[in-house]
Homo-oligomer: A and B are copies of this chain.
Amino acid sequence: MSIRAIAINCTLKTSAKSVKTGEASSTDRMISVLADAFRHHGVELTQTLRIADYNVLPGVTSDEGEGDDWPRLRETILAHDILVFGGPIWMGQIGSIAKRVLERMDAFLSETDDKGRMPSWSKVAVAAIVGNEDGAHMSSAQLFQSLNDTGWTIPSVAACYWVGEAMGSTDFKDLERTPDKVTQTAAMLAGNAAHLARLLKDQPYPGAG
């Protein structure tokens, strides 16, 4: 069975800004580590949606009206089996663009099928988190709670992250090499997510009554 993953990059910077400043995205690098790991498990990570490049309006419905890019992002995301939710830590917490995406998924709660299942049912979500320093656990706590509330399944060992020493300023994108612990975690995460996505695609949750 073919399993496809998609990543979202919730950096605060647009691609245009990255090009202008010549700065790569640390979240992109972490997603790339995971894409490699997924490939070893036969899962293609088809694309990364850089949310800052789109106009995702604030709100908690699936379509906030004119100019809202979320409807097509939502459709693209839901056409995949695995969501790699990537984003940076700011202020020790997951960034505001990630939070906005989570809020838009709040709509899933009222978009259930006749068996009470949300659009995310039988899909798997994992976290890819980066920061100069501390905040990865708070971020994954925020992500797992929100993603689970909105119907996603969280495989064993679903967070791959990197942060530097307390109050540090090194970026993941600037590390000479990817730390072994990150590569090992990525391998375990990808294997678990791929396995679970296959099981659930083959035998989805039955839903209510």
Contact = CB atoms under 8 A, between A and B. Distances in A.
Interface of A: 12-13, 52, 58-60, 90-93, 95-97, 99-100, 102-103, 106, 116, 118, 120-122, 133-138, 140-142, 144-146, 148-159, 161-167, 179, 181-182, 184-185, 187-188, 191-192, 195-196, 199-200, 203, 205-209
Contacts of A208: 184, 187-188, 191
B182 A146 contact: no
Q: How many copies does the complex hold?
A: 4
A86 B118 CA distance: 25
For A166, A188, A191, A195, the residue with the greatest tally of chain B CB atoms inside 10 Å of its CB is: A166
11 contacts: A93-B99, A93-B145, A96-B100, A137-B145, A140-B148, A144-B144, A153-B154, A167-B179, A191-B207, A195-B205, A195-B206
Among A58, A102, A140, A185: residue with most chain B CB under 10 A: A58
Contacts of A152: 156
B161 A134 contact: yes
A201 B195 CA distance: 13
B159 A182 contact: no
A145 B156 contact: no
A162 to B, nearest CB: 5
Given A103-B90, A103-B96, A156-B120, A144 B148 contact: yes
Contact of A92 (B136, B157, B158): B136
